[in-house]
């Protein structure tokens, strides 16, 4: 329910957020930090992860099912924390849902444009995100920049294994990044939920002069300004709750999740999906 106070309109309903699995917790963590009054409900589709190698149609199907689950909580806004789901399903979700839907590609693209001086931006992501060319389209919709892309399918399993740094991480990062460095990019978009955990290894291998763009932080700021503009911010002294749901293996989610969430994970509930 939206309540009018003397000075502004407030809305204490929760924000819904989803991802293919753990990765979106990097976005959740940034939102939790930026918006301390907001209650959040997170859904990780651990039964269907990874989305990065799946087809557009199936990712849209999963995303629709997850968002109808989130809508049962009367969420006031939905964040598509997964880059692949943002690339494939955002426009469908925006057409069908009656609340604002925010993806990670628009905020990440804006932040990259802001950071780049030589107008040469590199984007790394899953096969799905890269093949969709969503970052290329979004950056060029805003301004004419040269955008060079590279799919990095080994990064997700690498991070989930906890091998964020060391010899193996270094050599995989070097191999994927070389074609982008050859193009003389000055900005690199981490276009996947898992990549912020590789930040130090990436920094070491791309050099300090290249700006690394973390879509998670940019998305949290976008959520804040959309809620402000739409007068949908909560006015609580502290949030009422953070809830976590998954479609499979809640114990594993809780164990690995704390690495992505940078905090201790509260309890996680399993929900049966139709698909
Ligand atoms: N969350 C996905 C993304 O940001 C990465 C993991 C997956 O492939 O599902 O694209």
Q: 152 CB less than 6 Å from ligand 1? A: no
Question: How far does the centroid of ligand 1 lie from the alpha carbon of residue 115, in Å?
Answer: 24
Same domain, 67 and 195: no
Question: How far does the centroid of ligand 1 lie from the alpha carbon of residue 90, in Å?
Answer: 14
Identify the bridge partners of residue 121 per DSSP, sorted by sequence position.
Answer: 147, 187
pLDDT of 3 higher than 80: no
Same domain, 33 and 57: yes
Same domain, 209 and 253: no
Same domain, 70 and 173: no
* Residue 129 forms part of a structural domain: yes
Same domain, 13 and 141: no
The pLDDT, as a whole number, for residue 4 is 53
**Contact of 72 with 95, CB cutoff 8 Å:** no
* Residue 197 forms part of a structural domain: yes
pLDDT band of residue 44 (cuts 50, 70, 90) is very high
| Residues labelled catalytic | 82, 192
Same domain, 157 and 236: no
* Residue 184 forms part of a structural domain: yes
pLDDT of 169 higher than 60: yes
* Residue 236 forms part of a structural domain: yes
Same domain, 23 and 44: yes
* Residue 229 forms part of a structural domain: yes
CA 265/CA 249 separation, integer angstroms = 14
Q: 123 CB less than 6 Å from ligand 1? A: no
Q: Which of 172, 188, 216 is the last residue of a domain?
A: 216
| Domain ranges, residue 145 | 105-216
Q: Which of 199, 216, 233 is the last residue of a domain?
A: 216
* Residue 66 forms part of a structural domain: yes
The tens digit of pLDDT for each residue in 232-273 reads: 999 888 889 999 999 999 999 998 898 899 888 889 999 988
Report the mean per-residue pLDDT for the chain. 94
Same domain, 57 and 143: no
**What values do phi and psi take at 30, rounded to 5?**
-65, -35
pLDDT band of residue 7 (cuts 50, 70, 90) is very low
* Residue 275 forms part of a structural domain: no
Q: For ligand 1, what atom is nearest to the CA of residue 191?
A: 4
**Contact of 10 with 198, CB cutoff 8 Å:** no
Q: For ligand 1, what atom is nearest to the CA of residue 50?
A: 9
Same domain, 228 and 174: no
CA 214/CA 262 separation, integer angstroms = 15
Same domain, 78 and 134: no
What is the average per-residue pLDDT within 144-171?
97
Same domain, 120 and 196: yes
What CATH code is carried by the domain that includes residue 247? 3.40.50.1860
Same domain, 138 and 184: yes
Structural domains counted in the chain: 2
CA 125/CA 190 separation, integer angstroms = 7
Q: Which of 216, 237, 262 is the last residue of a domain?
A: 216
The tens digit of pLDDT for each residue in 50-87 reads: 999 999 999 999 999 999 999 999 999 999 999 999 99
């Amino acid at each position: 329910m939206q309540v009018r106070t003397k000075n502004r309109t407030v809305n204490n309903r929760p924000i819904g957020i989803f991802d293919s699995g753990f990765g979106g917790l990097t976005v959740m963590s940034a939102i939790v930090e930026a918006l301390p009054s907001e209650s959040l409900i997170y859904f990780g589709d651990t039964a269907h992860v990874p989305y990065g190698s799946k087809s557009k149609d199936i990712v849209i199907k999963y995303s629709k099912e997850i968002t109808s689950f989130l809508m049962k909580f009367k969420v006031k806004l939905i964040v598509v924390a997964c880059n692949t789901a943002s690339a494939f399903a955002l426009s469908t979700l925006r057409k069908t849902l009656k609340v604002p839907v925010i993806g990670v590609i628009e905020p990440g693209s804006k932040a990259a444009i802001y950071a780049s001086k030589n107008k040469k931006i590199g984007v790394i992501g899953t096969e799905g995100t890269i093949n969709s060319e969503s970052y290329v389209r979004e950056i060029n919709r805003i301004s004419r920049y040269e955008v060079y892309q590279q799919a990095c399918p080994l990064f997700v399993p690498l991070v989930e294994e906890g091998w964020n740094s060391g010899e193996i991480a270094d050599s995989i990062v070097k191999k994927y990044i070389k074609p982008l460095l050859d193009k003389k990019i000055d900005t690199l978009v981490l276009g996947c939920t898992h990549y912020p955990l590789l930040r130090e290894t990436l920094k070491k291998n791309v050099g300090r002069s290249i700006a690394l763009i973390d879509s998670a932080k940019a998305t949290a700021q976008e959520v804040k300004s959309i809620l402000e503009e739409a007068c949908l911010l909560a006015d609580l002294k502290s949030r009422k709750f953070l809830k976590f749901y998954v479609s499979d293996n809640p114990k594993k989610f809780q164990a690995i999740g704390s690495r992505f969430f940078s905090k201790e994970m509260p309890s996680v509930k399993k929900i049966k999906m139709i698909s």
